[in-house]
Structure 1
Amino acid sequence: MSNTRFVRNPLSFALASALVASVAPAFAQEAASAQPAPSAATDIDTITVTGSRIAKDTFNAVSPVQVITREESTIAGFNSTTGVLQSNAVTGGSDQINNAYGGYVVNGGPGVNTLSLRGLGPTRTLVLVNGRRMSPAGSRGAVGSADLNTLPSIAISHIEVLKDGASSIYGSDAVAGVVNIVTHQKFDGAQVEFQVNVPEHGGGEETRWSAMVGTVGDNWRLSGSLDIYDRKEIQFGQRGWASDCPREYYGRNDDGSYGAGDFLDPVTGEPVCWGLDAGGVTIGTLGTATFASNFFAPGTTGTSFNRWRPNAAATTSPVVGFEGVDYYTRTTYSPEMEKEALISPTTNVTGMLQGGLDLNALGNAEAYFEILASRRESEQLGYLQHTVDYAVGSPLLGQWSNLPAFLAAPADGSTNGKNVAARAFIGWGLYRNWQEVDFTRATAGLRGDLGATWKYDGYVSFAKSNSDYYTENRLTDRIAKAYDVVADGRGGFVCRDTSDGCVAAPVLSYDVVNGILPQNYRDYIMQVTHGVTEYTEKTASFGVNGRLFDMPWDTGGTAMAAFGVEYRGQEIDDTPDQNSINSNLYGFTSATPTRGKDNVKEAYAEIELPLLSGVNFAEELSINGSVRYTDYDSYGSDKTWKLGMLYTPVSWMSIRASRGTSFRAPALFEQYLGATSGFGNQSLDPCNSWGDLNDTASNRYKNCASLGLPADFQQTNSVTAFTKGGAETGLSAETSTSLTAGIVLQPEMPSWFGDLSIAADYYDVQVNNGVARLTTGNVLSLCYGQSQAEFTAGTGYCGLVSRDANNALTVTSGYVNVATDIVRGWDFTVRYTRDIGPGQFRANAVVTSFLEQAGKTFPNDPFKDTNGMIGAPEMTGQLNLGYNVGKWGFHYGLDWVDAVSSYEYYEKYDGVDYRPDYNMAIDAHFTSNASVQYSNDGWKVTAGVRNLADKNPPVISSGAYSVIGNAPLYSGYDMIGRSYHMNISKKF
């Protein structure tokens, strides 16, 4: 899905129409200039390419622009704009937040789909609709990027992708690049469309119903569209590779495969299954103080245990009726986990209305408007571990009433301040998240002529995202009430306080440990929590562009310029459920309100100087420069600039280069995020096995020893993490520099050979003073690495860390300006066309090659290059072959992700060789698609298959990366399997 077309005048609306009419999908890479493209279907004589504010009658530009036509998405089998934009052909293999991330905390909330170019993240990629900024949408407090779910489908003419910094043109966020969604401006008639995608292995069916109507009068235009998109859920159990729960794959077999060292489950004979947190979390297990016992589960090692599982035969065990288990024999997997959502469901309804009226005044002005509205209803199913704490001496302990304390009273108050004698680790089952996100964006403007050679365009825009988000949560105060019981006189127990319908917690039993809980108890402690997020953005913009002067020599051209001013105001107001605000969510992330606003005033100027034109060895030589002044309320003023050059020495070759600066103002959530709590794995504790540290003089060794912890200490509690915004610490904007340089070759070949076009573009982007959230691990490492005096005094980073009586750690962190990121590499594109027989053959290939994907969190850190690691492939590529004959078109596409390996990274930076132990390498991965299209009398039918070979995602060891089954959570690999698609459209 990556055909590329080179043209000497790319991207006019006329060209876009021509590309749409072709059967083979076409990516257009901006190239050199020649004669203007013939007009078609519109009267527009000047056009503006993404990356410039100057409207011209030719399409010469100094930065490469990729064009994706509407036809491209249809013939490749994509059923939504999201699918096209997140494909490897656009993103170069960078990981994207999609609907496989439903169980993860992501900016924008569950169900959001965002776009990241160059692997620099969605907040550094600017999305436009018809050249105007698309506002953020989503749920929860970290809304900061455009949600691709809000974009239309049938109304789109084409999509322009600029993979170059452009802050001097568009302002903040245009660091990694810009994506411009261009809709049909003059549509006359009606069109209806239906598409269905059906995976072979069940679940995940996608349907889209679309309609567009429009009419064009002598001095007016009006069109509207409606898209209804629905995707069903895919459960883990519907994909064999996903329901095969994660395994360590430890050690190599004789044939080179992994698993020789895996611990074999004595029950199944298979490697032990890590369904929850790579073994750090357990279910079907009872936790107590440590006891010596010779009654333990098969395969267990050791003679002392603090985790047990039910076994009625264990009559001589210190914990009667339970046998001891260790790290490997404790249970972490339940078959019910197979009902979790692999791909979460969503229903998106998007409507668009746009039009214009020629006023025959104010310089032949057109008054125009555009309204985009969408509603997303999305849902995620996840699996939940629950714990029931039995306090020392509680009557709910039943026959185990003599168990001593092994945990101090939890800080959340769930046991009413009483120490814990036994903790039942229970598999609760599935729980739901769901969201309803309403987004509206309305624009009204006026554009016309200023004299004979200048044009103006001014508009105002208002956008609003309003989200209701819901989660099934257990409430801590209700759990505490359920533990506070009295005898009911019938051999059972009731809550002491029944004012809210309290249901007593169940008496400890085998059934309770195995997850069989009374339904009325479940219903009492589990409640639906409801939060509301509102994000608004107001924009006012006015710009002019036109001819400045003719160059003072005969071989020059006409200097062009653009000037403008812009104002934007943004505001976020996220109000979580009151139980979240009060930290009353048991074992779940809580958050306080996020409220903040920011305003920016900007002015920009752009000038293009055609120094030479139509002379020997200079068919064209032009220079383009732009500058923007920005003044934010939040952090002050800044300037960005960009300088570029386009040189065409001969008609078949063009050389282009640009260098400039960009910036990204901190997102509102990065400044004002309310304190949000979460949990980290217990393995983050720097004092785990501190006695084994070789460097006994290190600060970490000394600091852990000073706590009085045993040398073989192992943390058994999750690390509680609090995150807050960085406004109070003076968070400032990121700055970046961007360099691109490329060559376009269109050799004049004999007619029998066909047409060949080649482009190679080098890119180098460096982000400085980057906004980063200090991770829990960062803070802990920095704290325990401080001097012993600082550690004891709790100063510096240790002021962000606390350790309670149970040795449970709590870490507070936030957003700071410390990070640096570098990405550099090459984009290669080749296109070949030739008439063969009665039709035309097309071959297009696109390859993205990263030379470096490096970063560092702190200024004094060394750069660490992740290029070539799992999730950051060094190279990706796409090949598309098409043949168009008469009313028929045939297409074949191949997507390629290069081999990846993480061994070198860990050996180089951590001095650890994981090669003999873990599978952290993946061979090159290929998936293909094919389709056929028939067109006649306004009808068009496209049918095809994606993932022809039904290729599963690759397999790696669990633990080192987020995995689904043993597949890495990475958007570059297909997780759906072979699927069939059909699109039917009719134009009237």
Structure 2
Amino acid sequence: MAILVPGVASAQTTVQTPDQDAVQVDEIVVVGSRIRRDNYNAPSPTQVVTREEATLQGFASTTEALQSTAVTGGTSQINNAYGGYVTDGGPGANTIGLRGMGPSRTLVLLNGRRVSPAGSRGSVGSADLNVLPTAMIDRVEVLRDGASSVYGSDAVAGVVNIQTRQGFEGLTLEGQVNAPTEANGNGGSTRLSVVAGAKGDRWRAAGSVERYERDELTLRDREFTRCQTDGYIDRATGGSLDFVDPITGKPKCYPITDTGSNGVTINTIAAGVEGPLNARGQRTFVGVSGQGAAGSVGSTFNRWRPNSAVDTGVVGFEGVGGGANDVNVRDTFEDRMLNESLISPVEITTIYGEAAYQLNALGNAEIYGEFLLNNRKSSQTGYRQLALDYAKGSPLIPDNLAFSTAMTDQGLNKGADVGVRAFIGFGNDHSTQEQRFNRNVVGIKGDFLIPEWRYDLSASYSKSRSEYTSEQFLTDRLIESLDVVETAPGQFQCAQLASNPGCVAAPALSSQVIGGQLPQAWVDYVFRPVKGVTEYEEKIVSLGLDGPLFELPAGRVMGFFGLEWRDAQIDDTPGLDSQNDNTYNFSSSAITRGSDSVWEAFAEVEAPILRDMPFAHDLTLNGSFRYTDYDSYGDDTTYKIGLVYSPVEMLTLRGTYGTSYRAPALFEQFVGATTGFLSNTNDRCNEYGRPNVNPNRVANCAAEGLAPDHYNLSSVRVVTLGGAEAGLEAETSTNMTVGAVLQPPMPSGWGDLAFAVDYYEIEVKNGVSQYGAGNILTRCYDSDPADFAADVGFCALVSRDPTNSQLTVQNGYVNLATDIVKGLDYTVRYRNDVGPGSVLFNLALTQYTEISNKLFDEDPLEDYKGQINNPEFTGTADVSYAWDQWRVRYGVEWIQGTDSYDYLGVSPSDADPSTAMYDFEVGDYWLHNASVQYTTGGWTATAGVRNIFNEEPPTISSGYYNRVGNAPLYSGYDYLGRTAFINLTKSF
């Protein structure tokens, strides 16, 4: 990444573009302050990423550049690899969060003004990077410091300001292709754009049109995702402790175990008989005798797989579950699972324009405007299991299974007992999103009444509208299709056909149906698209005045004073079937609707205290203050104080301390009460008596009165509530940064060297967050038995129904007691003339010294630094050489290895990597990139390779962490593999 001066923003910036003379920029405002300066060193560390550097690195979009390790410091970001997960902004949205504090605490600006949230579903609260006009961007400024008093409440961890190519003249055509050499050639991207601009004596106008497309990458396309295994290790022998698939003799692909395994029961039925009442007076269902499948144990089963060769016991079926059998004896994987999206595809069209006109009136005023229109189409391919219940006595059940009573009605059989439940591998399903984002800005700026003062009055209106569709089984149609009468041998029709015209009878239970071969007419009837619409609107009016206040011996005291009003509204209306809980084994969603507005008054003052004195080359004080008044959460104040001290010209010391106040986002306040369901396999007590289960889990499940072979037949109920209903409060935080910049004078011919180091601390109190239902369940049942019995920590969010053992997890938005991030940034820049050209070396290193949080005041503070997905060190380095019309570059990205043994270990053996059955350690991760650029006659060609050595992501064991295949789900790793890229630009 290009850093103009490491950690120091300079107003006297020379911008060099191909085939153009250097342009001197006399007076600018760099992110971090609203005061115009002629010459200054900023009190806050600021990183600048130029479009030229992004092109040399092979980034095809601003999104890719912003989510890179160099900008994010190695913290995980939401990108297109999260298409199968529930994320804020919905599938396809890409966001950025600095310092690991999440996107809701990072403010994104375009030309110094807010970029409004965009996305789908109810949890829209952050800017979607997909809306940015990549073709028109000149540079990106990244402020790695809290700035709520300068920019508003959500600038807690930092600010990202995207600056367009204002004043652009001419016509530029650009095209870029990124083509993976691995992954069967899939996952590539293309971008085509046109940028045009012109200006006259009193006017200027410029704009761009661009098209970006990224192809789908599937699980089939990468080796590390084709066969996901548990990865459990016998440290004594070095062998595997995974369940061995009797069919292949190898560890089972996509088994059913803990978090991170994606297998589902398929090609199987549940069949048994009613047993005696248990100690709690509940009905029980037990297995029956039969022939076991290869790998099974015992002779009594309640799960069966078709096998036409079986002529005893349950004729036509072999036993694959029940008793002491491992759940993975049954089928859990089929080839269509590999069609799932690893990287979801996207198509983006963006139109951007900006213009300005000098009025020669109202203080030599200029009126200006910006227009942004963006359309995103994204989609994801998933895989669905269908658990289909056939009622006891149904004519759809064959005679050899008529004996069975598997369970009480689970909701499909109008109160009748379930005779047979079929676990069907249904196949692939698809979700789509189409988002339209529009942003309009108008303003006027000019000289104020006081000499050398300027005013800037602007208003903006942004609207995002997203239509999202997912394919769902409709519960009411399943119910009616399963209620049938036989009209002729082997012929069935819906019993209530008169009141449900168009109803299609469910297929009779057979080996083909169990195997996923379903009549298309029936599928078309019960499996339907469910469409929802999300709209988000934001209006902003802002007024700023800036200029000199008075003179001090060291210079002028500059000030900025402003007012801002913001009003935001969210309206997410899920499809009626989703609202009415009519999507079978899927989440229901209520309407999310709410609004909030805020008035803010703010001021910033910068005073030069000393200048050009002995041991005081420069001493400048900067202070800012903001008063905030939200309709929803009342008022508060924030402030920030910064100091820049240069005892001598070569050394700059700087520091800031500030406070922040963030009202919860609209979705955090108003998300509609949503009840979702996770698969029954998420019950952490399922078959907890099997070998190699966490001993804490064994003790806690036993404490609930569950048998070691317990297997929950009920889905896990997950309840999400908006914070307004749950007593959510605004969060407050403090932010401190202390640093030094060294720019020593070098002997002639030795070049220019600069070094910066900055230490930062961010502490958030009452932070708004969710932990996730799966995470809550795992950490509750694996917690200390004393904590489990006391119902504290995560266990306070979990309850179990004593009558049917159904789990309910409260996963609403809560105020975390403490969230702390501490660390250091190191930056080095060296430039020198060598031979016919010049060499430039950049090094950026981020070190986290603490990444900790706790959910409740009484909980211990957990430090996640150095654990998986939270590396202590990350870094980037690049060296480039430019001469004549050529420029070559070589870059390296580094993520330090991590391990989670100390945190996840529940016994001395688990905490010791030499004895633990889990592999929760990953080594250092390196990505190498190289490129060459040639410019002539208005043409610029850039070609290169990302991930030269085709470094694959590391692998870990199943459990605790979400995985992509066998690799951690983490944005810092490259899932594409080696990728060649070429960029062609023609300027007229």
**Residues 333 and 515 of structure 1, relative CA distance in 2, 3 Å threshold:** same
**Residues 590 and 826 of structure 1, relative CA distance in 2, 3 Å threshold:** same
By how many angstroms is 1:646 displaced? 0.3
By how many angstroms is 1:459 displaced? 0.4
Q: 2:228 maps to which residue? A: 245
Tell me the amino acid that sits aligned with residue 213 of structure 1: A
What CA distance in whole angstroms lies between the structure 2 residues aligned with 1:318 and 1:689?
24
Q: How does 1:905-920 map to 2 (within 5 A)?
A: 905-907=903-905, 912-913=910-911, 915=913, 916-920=916-920
Q: How does 1:187-586 map to 2 (within 5 A)?
A: 187-201=168-182, 202-252=185-235, 254=237, 259-274=239-254, 278=261, 281-289=264-272, 290-293=286-289, 295-318=291-314, 320-325=316-321, 326=325, 327-410=327-410, 413-450=411-448, 451-498=450-497, 499-551=500-552, 554=553, 556-586=554-584
2:157 to 164, 171, 176: 176
Q: 1:149 maps to which residue? A: 130
What CA distance in whole angstroms lies between the structure 2 residues aligned with 1:501 and 1:816?
46
Aligned-pair RMSD on alpha carbons?
A: 2.8
What CA distance in whole angstroms lies between the structure 2 residues aligned with 1:7 and 1:670?
37
By how many angstroms is 1:832 displaced? 1.3
Preserved contact between residue 6 and residue 827 of structure 2 (Cα < 8 Å): no
**Residues 219 and 135 of structure 1, relative CA distance in 2, 3 Å threshold:** same
Tell me the amino acid that sits aligned with residue 228 of structure 2: C
What secondary structure sits across from 2:4 in the alignment?
strand
By how many angstroms is 1:732 displaced? 1.9
Structure 2 segments unaligned to the other structure (5+ residues): 273-285
By how many angstroms is 1:16 displaced? 5.9
2:620 to 622, 629, 636: 622
By how many angstroms is 1:809 displaced? 2.4
Tell me the amino acid that sits aligned with residue 167 of structure 2: K
2:743 to 734, 742, 746: 746
Q: How does 1:103-182 map to 2 (within 5 A)?
A: 103-182=84-163
Per-residue CA deviations over 1:814-862 (Å, capped at 9, x if unaligned) read 2222342111111111111121111111111111111111111111111
By how many angstroms is 1:360 displaced? 0.9
**Residues 127 and 285 of structure 1, relative CA distance in 2, 3 Å threshold:** same
By how many angstroms is 1:801 displaced? 4.1
Per-residue CA deviations over 1:218-277 (Å, capped at 9, x if unaligned) read 1111111111101111121122222233333432475x5xx4222221211211112666
What CA distance in whole angstroms lies between the structure 1 residues aligned with 2:310 and 2:235?
37
By how many angstroms is 1:785 displaced? 10
Preserved contact between residue 617 and residue 649 of structure 2 (Cα < 8 Å): yes
Q: 1:770 maps to which residue? A: 767
Q: 1:860 maps to which residue? A: 858
Q: 1:728 maps to which residue? A: 725
Structure 1 segments unaligned to the other structure (5+ residues): 24-38
What CA distance in whole angstroms lies between the structure 1 residues aligned with 2:746 and 2:26?
31
Preserved contact between residue 147 and residue 155 of structure 2 (Cα < 8 Å): yes
Tell me the amino acid that sits aligned with residue 714 of structure 2: N
What CA distance in whole angstroms lies between the structure 2 residues aligned with 1:142 and 1:896?
33
Q: Which moved more, 1:520-529 or 1:139-148?
A: 520-529
What CA distance in whole angstroms lies between the structure 1 residues aligned with 2:439 and 2:264?
44
**Residues 318 and 489 of structure 1, relative CA distance in 2, 3 Å threshold:** closer
**Residues 603 and 949 of structure 1, relative CA distance in 2, 3 Å threshold:** same
Q: Does 1:589 align with 2:584?
A: no
Preserved contact between residue 142 and residue 158 of structure 2 (Cα < 8 Å): yes
What secondary structure sits across from 1:720 in the alignment?
strand
Preserved contact between residue 288 and residue 302 of structure 2 (Cα < 8 Å): no
Tell me the amino acid that sits aligned with residue 351 of structure 2: G
Preserved contact between residue 638 and residue 661 of structure 2 (Cα < 8 Å): yes
- What TM-score do the two structures reach when normalised by structure 2? 0.92
**Residues 348 and 695 of structure 1, relative CA distance in 2, 3 Å threshold:** closer
By how many angstroms is 1:909 displaced? 10
Q: 2:952 maps to which residue? A: 952
Preserved contact between residue 797 and residue 811 of structure 2 (Cα < 8 Å): no
What CA distance in whole angstroms lies between the structure 2 residues aligned with 1:804 and 1:536?
45
What CA distance in whole angstroms lies between the structure 1 residues aligned with 2:955 and 2:776?
32
Per-residue CA deviations over 1:676-697 (Å, capped at 9, x if unaligned) read 2323464664766789998999
Per-residue CA deviations over 1:28-75 (Å, capped at 9, x if unaligned) read xxxxxxxxxxx9547x64321111111111232100110000101111
What secondary structure sits across from 1:478 in the alignment?
helix
**Residues 92 and 111 of structure 1, relative CA distance in 2, 3 Å threshold:** same
Per-residue CA deviations over 1:368-396 (Å, capped at 9, x if unaligned) read 10111100011111111111111111111
By how many angstroms is 1:320 displaced? 4.4
Preserved contact between residue 7 and residue 46 of structure 2 (Cα < 8 Å): no
2:28 to 47, 68, 72: 47
**Residues 476 and 16 of structure 1, relative CA distance in 2, 3 Å threshold:** farther
What secondary structure sits across from 1:768 in the alignment?
strand
Tell me the amino acid that sits aligned with residue 62 of structure 1: P
Preserved contact between residue 152 and residue 352 of structure 1 (Cα < 8 Å): yes
1:60 to 11, 26, 41: 41
Q: Which moved more, 1:206-215 or 1:236-245?
A: 236-245
By how many angstroms is 1:786 displaced? 14
By how many angstroms is 1:878 displaced? 0.7
Q: Which moved more, 1:714-723 or 1:922-931?
A: 714-723
Preserved contact between residue 296 and residue 319 of structure 2 (Cα < 8 Å): no
Preserved contact between residue 700 and residue 784 of structure 1 (Cα < 8 Å): no
What CA distance in whole angstroms lies between the structure 1 residues aligned with 2:797 and 2:840?
63
Tell me the amino acid that sits aligned with residue 721 of structure 1: V
**Residues 78 and 711 of structure 1, relative CA distance in 2, 3 Å threshold:** closer
Preserved contact between residue 314 and residue 323 of structure 1 (Cα < 8 Å): no
What CA distance in whole angstroms lies between the structure 2 residues aligned with 1:422 and 1:123?
47
Preserved contact between residue 4 and residue 846 of structure 1 (Cα < 8 Å): no
**Residues 96 and 814 of structure 1, relative CA distance in 2, 3 Å threshold:** same
**Residues 486 and 364 of structure 1, relative CA distance in 2, 3 Å threshold:** same
Tell me the amino acid that sits aligned with residue 180 of structure 2: P
What secondary structure sits across from 2:56 in the alignment?
helix
What secondary structure sits across from 2:234 in the alignment?
coil
By how many angstroms is 1:772 displaced? 2.3
What CA distance in whole angstroms lies between the structure 1 residues aligned with 2:51 and 2:262?
47
What secondary structure sits across from 1:97 in the alignment?
coil
Preserved contact between residue 300 and residue 328 of structure 1 (Cα < 8 Å): no
Q: 1:873 maps to which residue? A: 871
Preserved contact between residue 736 and residue 768 of structure 1 (Cα < 8 Å): yes
Preserved contact between residue 626 and residue 639 of structure 2 (Cα < 8 Å): yes
What CA distance in whole angstroms lies between the structure 2 residues aligned with 1:947 and 1:660?
40
Per-residue CA deviations over 1:643-677 (Å, capped at 9, x if unaligned) read 11000111111010001111221010111101223
What CA distance in whole angstroms lies between the structure 1 residues aligned with 2:129 and 2:896?
27
2:53 to 50, 67, 72: 72
Preserved contact between residue 407 and residue 806 of structure 1 (Cα < 8 Å): no
**Residues 710 and 904 of structure 1, relative CA distance in 2, 3 Å threshold:** closer
What CA distance in whole angstroms lies between the structure 1 residues aligned with 2:964 and 2:783?
34
By how many angstroms is 1:910 displaced? 10
Tell me the amino acid that sits aligned with residue 463 of structure 1: S
Q: 1:635 maps to which residue? A: 633
Tell me the amino acid that sits aligned with residue 503 of structure 1: V
By how many angstroms is 1:771 displaced? 1.1
- What TM-score do the two structures reach when normalised by structure 1? 0.92
**Residues 610 and 693 of structure 1, relative CA distance in 2, 3 Å threshold:** closer
What secondary structure sits across from 1:328 in the alignment?
helix
Q: Percent identity?
A: 47
Preserved contact between residue 772 and residue 819 of structure 1 (Cα < 8 Å): no
**Residues 828 and 772 of structure 1, relative CA distance in 2, 3 Å threshold:** same
Tell me the amino acid that sits aligned with residue 217 of structure 1: G
